Amino acid sequence: MKQKTFLVIGAGSFGNHLCRCLVQQGGEVMVVDRCAEKVEALLSTAASGKIGDCTNPEVLRSFGVADFDACFVCIGEDFHNSLVITDMLKELGAKYVCSEATQDRQEKFLLHNGADRVIFPEKDIAHRLAVGMCNDTVFDYIALSEEYGVYEICIPDAWVGKTLMQLNVRANFGLNVLAARQGEDSHIQPVLTPDYVCSAHEHLLVMANAQDIHRLTESGGRIKGKKKG
């Protein structure tokens, strides 16, 4: 499998973490920033680093942006420059451009200027944290859309010792069970069969919407009209 290559413009907090995560996933990264210290801090991680002002078309052109599988514009704190760089990346033939934003209203301008995707790092983290903190059942959460997400939920006491068939979680709770996470080693067991027995101290990964997760939390996992146990 061909190693994917990425251009990360901006080595601030988000760009730094993104660069390291891309490398951990097997990607090859070139990082660019106007600050030499920020670039130097990533030289042991990234395949290469460049010091330069990417609002300069000649600087951007020199990187051969069309050769990268994706380009990331990680300068959400400077919206004007983010717009300029996003636009130039597309003009230079970038295959896929992902730009950082800090406000909702910035999204439409970035998309209009050529961004294929707009991300809100602080907003996404805040939402993910809020979901977990406001629902005792939820251990972790990944958004799939405005309505649906993948939730890692604790096994309710009412489910312990019962099979997925007995619980009929899709019909009774609106949840689609994807996998189970077991033990301290975080072992994932995917594709659970209907006769899978729920155990205490394990988590389930489910796809659901927020309303169904709230109903699960409020009910404690008890099926409506049935007593606990």
Residue 158: give its domain's CATH number: 3.30.70.1450
Q: Is the pLDDT of residue 108 over 90?
A: yes
- 227 within a domain of the structure (yes/no): no
pLDDT-derived band at 227, boundaries 50, 70, 90? very low
- 224 within a domain of the structure (yes/no): no
Average pLDDT over residues 39-52: 94
Residue 228's pLDDT is what? 43
| Predicted TM-score of the model (pTM) | 0.70
- 145 within a domain of the structure (yes/no): yes
Same domain? 92 vs 193: no
Q: Which amino acid is at 138?
A: V
- 229 within a domain of the structure (yes/no): no
Average pLDDT over residues 198-210: 90
Same domain? 12 vs 80: yes
Decide: 115 and 86 in contact? Cβ < 8 Å. Answer: yes
Q: Is the dihedral of CA 127, 210, 119, 12 positive or negative?
A: positive
Same domain? 65 vs 115: yes
Same domain? 170 vs 194: yes
Q: Tell me the average pLDDT of the chain.
A: 89
Average pLDDT over residues 186-209: 88
133-162, pLDDT tens digit by residue?
A: 777 778 888 888 778 889 999 898 999 999
Distance of CA 217 to the CA centre of its chain: 24
Which two tokens mark 124?
Answer: 């996404």
Decide: 149 and 207 in contact? Cβ < 8 Å. Answer: yes
Same domain? 78 vs 165: no
Same domain? 19 vs 78: yes
Average pLDDT over residues 39-45: 94
Same domain? 152 vs 197: yes
- 23 within a domain of the structure (yes/no): yes
Domain final position from 87, 119, 151: 119
What is the domain-level CATH number for residue 100? 3.40.50.720
Q: Please give the torsion angle defined by the CA atoms of residues 16, 18, 20 and 23, in that order, rounded to the nearest 10 degrees.
A: -140
pLDDT-derived band at 183, boundaries 50, 70, 90? low
Domain final position from 83, 98, 119: 119
Domain final position from 81, 98, 119: 119
Average pLDDT over residues 46-63: 95
Which two tokens mark 121?
Answer: 């790092």
Same domain? 39 vs 69: yes
Residue 184's pLDDT is what? 55
Which two tokens mark 139?
Answer: 């251990």
Shortest CA distance to 111 belongs to which of 127, 125, 98? Answer: 98
d(CA 50, CA 35): 10
- 58 within a domain of the structure (yes/no): yes
Its domain, for residue 183, covers 124-219
pLDDT-derived band at 2, boundaries 50, 70, 90? confident
